[in-house]
């Protein structure tokens, strides 16, 4: 049960929430982490869809992951496939797409699948934090 000893789970609300950032570029993961840590979030990283699925299925993440921020163009399992997986296996975890490619068709299809936001890089820190806060609200609602 060691995996269930995080401060958050134990009621000591040390962080505002746990976010998984999925992007194949380490630079992007780094700046998104920086931006979100400033707002008090706990950030996990995955470099592709396959790693993201591994991460969400690992131990306490299954229960404690609040929001996933996911790129589209990635090796192994790409963003579209990963998001489909999250939607069907973890429908309560809100998703945010953060992509380099402004594609209206893709955005429409993603929003229809229930992603909270379709953000196109470069996105300002403030906007990203707002989007995450909105996703967190959805998460809270889902728990009610």
100 contributes a contact to other proteins by CB under 8 A: yes
102 contributes a contact to other proteins by CB under 8 A: yes
CA distance 80 to 10: 34
C-alpha count within 13 angstroms, C-beta hemisphere, residue 3: 8
Minimum Å distance from CB 116 to other proteins? 19
CA distance 118 to 121: 10
Which of 21, 28, 83, 115 is in the footprint of other proteins by CB under 8 A?
A: 28
C-alpha count within 13 angstroms, C-beta hemisphere, residue 40: 8
- Of 67, 86, 87, whose CA–CA distance to 139 is shortest? 67
Which of 3, 54, 124, 140 is in the footprint of other proteins by CB under 8 A?
A: 124
Cα radius of gyration rounded to whole Å, the chain: 14
Which of 8, 62, 81, 123 is in the footprint of other proteins by CB under 8 A?
A: 123
CA distance 52 to 54: 5
- Using CB under 8 A, which of the segments 20-28, 51-59, 84-92, 133-141 binds other proteins? 20-28
58 contributes a contact to other proteins by CB under 8 A: no
78 contributes a contact to other proteins by CB under 8 A: yes
Which residues contact other proteins (rule: CB under 8 A)?
24-25, 27-28, 30-32, 34-35, 73-76, 78, 100-103, 120-125
């Amino acid at each position: 049960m060691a995996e269930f000893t995080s401060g958050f789970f134990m009621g000591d609300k040390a962080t505002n929430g746990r976010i998984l950032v999925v992007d194949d570029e380490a630079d992007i993961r780094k700046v998104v982490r920086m931006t979100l840590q400033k707002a008090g979030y706990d950030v996990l990283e995955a470099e592709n869809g396959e790693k993201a699925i591994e991460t969400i299925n690992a131990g306490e993440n299954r229960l404690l992951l609040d929001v996933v921020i996911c790129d589209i163009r990635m090796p192994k399992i790409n963003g579209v496939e990963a998001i489909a997986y999250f939607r069907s296996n973890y429908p309560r975890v809100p998703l945010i797409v953060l992509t380099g490619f402004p594609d209206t068709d893709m955005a429409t299809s993603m929003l229809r699948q229930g992603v909270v936001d379709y953000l196109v890089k470069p996105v300002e820190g403030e906007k990203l934090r707002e989007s995450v806060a909105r996703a967190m609200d959805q998460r809270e609602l889902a728990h009610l």
